[in-house]
Structure formats: C-alpha cells, structure tokens
Structure 1
Amino acid sequence: MSAKIVVFGASGYTGRLAVSSLLARGEQPVLAGRSENSLRPLAEPHGLQYLTADVSEPATVRALVEPGDVLLSTVGPFNRYGYAAAAAAADAGAHYLDSTGEVDFVQRVQQEFTARAADSGTTMVPAFGYDYVPGTLAGALAAKAAGTPGGHLRIGYFALGSLRRGISGGTRATLAEALARPTSVYAGGSLRSRRMGSETYKFKVQNQARRAFLAMGTEVFFLPDSYPGLSSVEVYNGWFPGLSRVAGPLTRAAAALERLPGGRKAVAKFASMGGAPGGGPDEQERSRSGSYAVANLSDSRGYTVVEVHVQGPNVYTLTGELLAEAAVALRDGRAVSAGVQGPVGAFGLDGLTALCARAGLRVI
C-alpha cells in the first residue's frame, strides 16, 4: 500500500485550506478530526476516507498513521493540543508537519523527537506555513548570497493590503499566548531571551519604509544551523505599522496583567476581539491581501550587505499551499534530512525554493 497523507484537524479553518490545496493537486488525503459529523460532508463529495481521533485519547491519534505516512496537523493552539499528533508521528515512524506559529511548541518537538525521527529515517517539519517559511527562505537566500562569515540578519513579516477583518481565530489565539511571553533571538552563538516588542526596525517594503516590532520566529532556531557564520538572527512583525509604535508598552502591560488573577483570560479576550467570522477570512476577504517578507543582512557597522524580498498570496492561502506542497514532498521522498528540521534542513535551499514557488511564494 502506498503511503498516505492524513490531515488532522481537517474540518478546522487551516485544515480545510490544506485539504483544498491537496485536492487541487490531484491528491486524495485522509481527513481526520474529532467529529464525524464535521468530517463526513467534507469527505463524501470527493470520495475521501475520513477517520475520527481526539487528542484527549492519544491512541486514537496514533492509529491514524503507519510507517512512511505523512501526518499534517492543524490542531491548535499547539501548546495545548498539538503534542499528541507530533508524538503519534514519532511513534509510528511517519513524517510530520504542522501549521503552528508557537515557537515554544517547536522547541518542544525539537527536544523530544529529533533523535527518534532521525533513527526512523523520517522528517518532522513544524511551523511550515506563513509562520515561518517566507522569512526562512528569504533569510537563507540572503545568507547564501552574502557568501562571507558573519552578518546580522533581520527578518520582517508584512501584509500587503488590509488585514483589518482578515485574521483567523487561530492567529488571534497564538497572539494571546505570545503577548506576555518573552521571545528569542540568536546572538553570539546562542539563543537569548528578549521581551516581545522591545525593539523595532525599519524595513523597505515596495520602496517604502515600514516599521516592525521584535517578534517570535523559528528562524532563530534553524537558520544558524544551516548558516553557522551568522552573527545574529532576529524576527520582526510589521503587519500593522501603527502597532509597532506601541508594541513595547503593550507587551509590558500584557505581562503585568497576566500575573493578576484572571489576567490570562483578559489577555485572550482582548486578542479575540474583531476576528474574522467563521474561523477565518473567506476567499473573497483573502483575495484583498498578500504576504511579504524581507531579509536584511548587514555587516558589523550596520551597512546592508544583502537584502532579499519574497512575496506571495494571502497569509492563510499561502499556508494551505505550503502545507500541501510539503506533504506531497515528504510522501514522495524528497526530504534531504531526517529528524526534526527547519524548512532548509528538510528540503535543502534549492528544494525549498522550488517548493515555495509552486506554492505561489516568489523571490523578488
């Protein structure tokens, strides 16, 4: 029997996008999730198999995959609900990828499953969506183009068009989790903790200067492994330029609020305000915005050595496309390394560049 692609969380917002992208490629994924009533109407029109599984019963998640299969998980927030899928893939000897934007979850997957995945010859690629593939691609291309040791790499994420009503519930939940937590930067050969929003940086986006604030990103974990000459790696978010001016005080206040009784719920409620209905923006809303990332590599004096820009479709559309492309690549044996890997480690820079191009992400 040929290896199968299983989409766990198929009836959720990101899961539906990934399934749609797989179907557009002629694939027949297996749909999985908690509710048969939610899965059946998605599966039957396309003649797809569907299976029920619940993270509260890890054995049901483990039963979804066999050795050589691909488990694509969109079940989040991942710090609460994502562990069962990653553990199931590691136990089964299956490939794995997910849509998380939670960097501490990625670190947990790294710590717990790297050796097991390497021993079984499988590849696990967490956070393979808009968070954080575009920045990884741009950063890797910049590091390769520089061609010399050293360099301070700053990666900025931006949206083209309006995201005012175009942010999903999952993104807002991730924001709520992150507001009061420190983020990581790579500097001096190791990871260092910084307060989210404590610094800002101006990037050039379509010939205009746009400010972004220090944010979380898996680039700080994976790019130094692929390009050990990098002196530092930092990730910035510039979705809302006005927010960059107040990000520092906002995250400081969120951290203080979270320490109070009921503070965590208050932060989560604030982050959920104004989200897109139905779990996330529909196709029409997504068509109004695009994704953009910039990698700026400077020398020790602060002069730009290399700058790489990448542009793609809406952040959620791009995530669905990236997940579908990566799932097919893993299933077809196109990974270049086993273990828990970042995008470059998993597919190589040439392979990642080609994969991203097929997903609609192009280098400018």
Structure 2
Amino acid sequence: MNGRVVLLGATGYTGGLVLDALRRRGVRPTVAGRDPTALAALAARSGGPDQWVVDARAPEELRRNLRPGDVLITTAGPFGRLGLPVARAAADAGAHYLDSSGEVGFVRALHDRYHHRACETGAVMLPAFGYDYVPGMLAAALALREAGTAARCVDIGYFATGTVRRGLSRGTRAALRDGLVLPSARRHRRVIVEERTASRLRDFTVRGRRTPAFLVSGTEVLFLPREFPSLDDVTVYNGWFPALGRFLPFWSALAHAATRLPAGGRIAEALTLPLAIGPPGGPDAAVRARVSSYVVALASPAAGHGAPLAEVHLEGPDPYGLTGELVAWAAERLADRRSGATPGVVGPLTAFGLDALRQGCAALGLAPVRDRAP
C-alpha cells in the first residue's frame, strides 16, 4: 500500500465503524476531526494512530497536507453543508476521496463541480460508497448483464430484515425525516426528474413475500446509465418499513404540502417528528447482528410493461457494518497505486469494474441469494 489513508469524522458513529474495518485489514489511518480531546481519546484506545485536528467547515489543514495518491475518507455530514470544501481539497491535491453520504443532491453537486478537476489531478472520487448505494448498483448491474441489451428499465428495492426500527442511527433518522419533504431523483425516459418522495409504491418479493417499498433517491440514477447507456428508466425504492408502506405516500404528501403554507416549515417538522425520535449514536454490535441487508433489482424491457427479464437478490451484513466494510475495502484498493481505478467523480462500477466489485462484496458477505420463503 503506497498512499496514506486519512479518516475525517473518525470520532463519530460511522467513522468508528470505518476505523474498525480498516484496522481489521491492517490499515493504520490518520484520524482527523475537529475535537482534539476526542481525537486523543480515540487514538489512545486505537493503537496510537497519527492525528490531524481538522474542521470540515474550514479544511485548510487538509489542503496543506494531502498529497497525490493519499486516500481521504470522510464521514462528517451533513454533506450538503460540510462536504464540498473537503472534496475540493482532495480533488485539488490529487488525493482519492471516499464518503458515506446518502445525499444524492450532494453527489450531483460534487460531480458538477469537481469531476473535471479530479480527472486532471488523477483523483478517484467515490461518493456514497456504503449501503447507500453500492448494493443497489451491484444488484442492478448483475440483473442488467443477465438481461442483455433488451433491458431498458431497472427498479431497485432496499430492504433490511430484523429489528430495523430499533436499530436506526441518529443520522439515518434525520435523513429519513428530511427525505419525506425533499424530492427524489429518478431517471425517466433518459432524463433525471424529481418527484415527491414516496409518491410511488412498488412491491418486491423478499424472502417469498410481496413487500411494498416507496420511492426514494439513489445514486444508481446518476451512475448506472454511464455503464448501461441503453437504460431509459432507473428508479430506487426503500422498503425498510413495510407496515408503513401504504401510509407513507399520504404522510409524505401532507408534509410536502405543509411546506407551502405560512410557517409550513414548523408544521412539516411536527409531522415528521416521530421519525427523529431515538437515542444518539447508532445501534451496537448486538443489535446490528440481528439485522441484515437485502436488495432486489428487476431489469425489464420497459417501465411498467412486461415481466422482468432478470431479477437479482443480494443479502449481506447489517447496513451500518456493511458501510464500514465497503469503505475500508475501497480505501485499501485506492491506496494501492496499482489498482488502476478510473479518476473523476464516479460510481463503483466505473471505478473498479463489475467483476472486481462483485468479488469484493462477496468477500464482505454481500452476495446473490435465491429468493426463499421464511
């Protein structure tokens, strides 16, 4: 391994999972964050890694110290507010970049602003490289490869089995709450359009049962057509809460309508408050052990027409543990200057290729399964 690995946000919940995954791989990262006391405590219990005191809102320290070929991982969100200056520091330095964002608007802005600069400096920039949205990208690519050139549409559903509601992190709860009042991007007739979140429902088969899922954003909309140019439609759904699935469209419509009223922001906050209730941090190892990730991709000849040409199901570790492992896997590959990953703001398929991504995910426990009854 040639490049240094720098982990910004190491003292947070997701950062801690990434740090643990890196250490299991024998990677000794530099830990970075804005609180020197918290960094020192983390370093003391993590074998004494190097430390950088860095504020994501003013990342001059990163800009001064990053070198070409370094790998910068950031888990410091919300990314729409804190992420762009950090990403610019990496692009300008020619350092590779990974983040755990699930914010598709941020990913679009990242591409628009820094793709060409990253190509110039040789930086590989991989946003949203975790449970959001690598499993869906992999499942869709496998389904599209199986379906062949007749496929024009892919629908992707994200699910989790087990005690999901009690196992959500504070960040996930905040993202779900915000997502109900923000539009979701989907690709329709080769154009990216924005629709109200949860305005569409689709049933998927999960372990032998038809399970509803609602419309959400996903970076599959942005990156899949680059690998499969014949795609007309790409739509992403979330089915974590099947008991609420039929109700969420009405809840979303009410919250969205409230934002147009005087004092609508406060009304929308009140309507979505139940989604934010929960403890700080995130689920511990015992809770995560009772949850698994499950993703379905359906490749079809056209949206809403005909039976799927191919259907792929992936199952793997819990979403939070999987995110930590995926980021660590990618960081280790990027730090090896022989990896040959494609520069620019790219998705995992463009960066590594389908076969390498499939093999890497399988090694982490995320692999195709036959759908089965419980």
Q: TM class, shorter-chain normalised?
A: over 0.9
- Name which of 337, 350, 356 aligns with 2:355: 350
Matches within 5 A, 1:266-277: 267=268, 270-271=272-273, 273=275, 275-277=277-279
What does residue 90 of structure 1 align with? 91
In the aligned structure 2, how far is the partner of 1:345 from the partner of 1:196?
28
What does residue 306 of structure 2 align with? 302
Q: Which runs of 5+ in 2 are unaligned?
A: 370-374
Kept in 1, the 8 Å contact 2:301–2:309? The answer is: yes
Kept in 2, the 8 Å contact 1:167–1:275? The answer is: no
Kept in 2, the 8 Å contact 1:165–1:275? The answer is: no
Kept in 1, the 8 Å contact 2:144–2:151? The answer is: no
Kept in 2, the 8 Å contact 1:158–1:237? The answer is: yes
What does residue 328 of structure 1 align with? 332
Asked if 1:16 is matched to 2:16, the reply is yes
What does residue 318 of structure 1 align with? 322
Structure 2 counterpart SS, 1:20: helix
Question: Which letter does structure 1 place at the counterpart of 2:320?
Answer: Y
Q: Which runs of 5+ in 1 are unaligned?
A: none
Question: Which letter does structure 2 place at the counterpart of 1:42?
Answer: L
Deviation of residue 122 (structure 1)?
1.6
Question: Which letter does structure 2 place at the counterpart of 1:161?
Answer: G
- TM-score, scaled to structure 1: 0.95
In the aligned structure 2, how far is the partner of 1:268 from the partner of 1:106?
25
What does residue 40 of structure 2 align with? 40
Deviations 1:173-213 (A, max 9, x none): 22233221111111212112211111111101111111101
Deviations 1:239-282 (A, max 9, x none): 00122212211111222233445544564564575655341111
What does residue 290 of structure 1 align with? 292
Question: Which letter does structure 2 place at the counterpart of 1:348?
Answer: G
Q: Percent identity between the aligned chains? A: 46
Question: Which letter does structure 1 place at the counterpart of 2:308?
Answer: T
Asked if 1:360 is matched to 2:365, the reply is yes
What does residue 115 of structure 2 align with? 114
Structure 2 counterpart SS, 1:228: coil
Kept in 2, the 8 Å contact 1:175–1:271? The answer is: no
Kept in 2, the 8 Å contact 1:172–1:272? The answer is: no
Asked if 1:242 is matched to 2:246, the reply is no
In the aligned structure 1, how far is the partner of 2:201 from the partner of 2:34?
41
In the aligned structure 1, how far is the partner of 2:268 from the partner of 2:76?
21
What does residue 74 of structure 1 align with? 75
Kept in 2, the 8 Å contact 1:155–1:236? The answer is: yes
Q: Structure 1 segments of 4 or more deviating over 4 A?
A: 260-263, 265-269, 271-276
Question: Which letter does structure 1 place at the counterpart of 2:279?
Answer: P
Structure 1 counterpart SS, 2:237: strand
16-25 or 333-342: bigger deviation = 333-342
What does residue 143 of structure 1 align with? 144
Question: Which letter does structure 2 place at the counterpart of 1:341?
Answer: V
Kept in 2, the 8 Å contact 1:292–1:309? The answer is: yes
- TM-score, scaled to structure 2: 0.93
Aligned length: 364
Deviation of residue 40 (structure 1)?
1.1
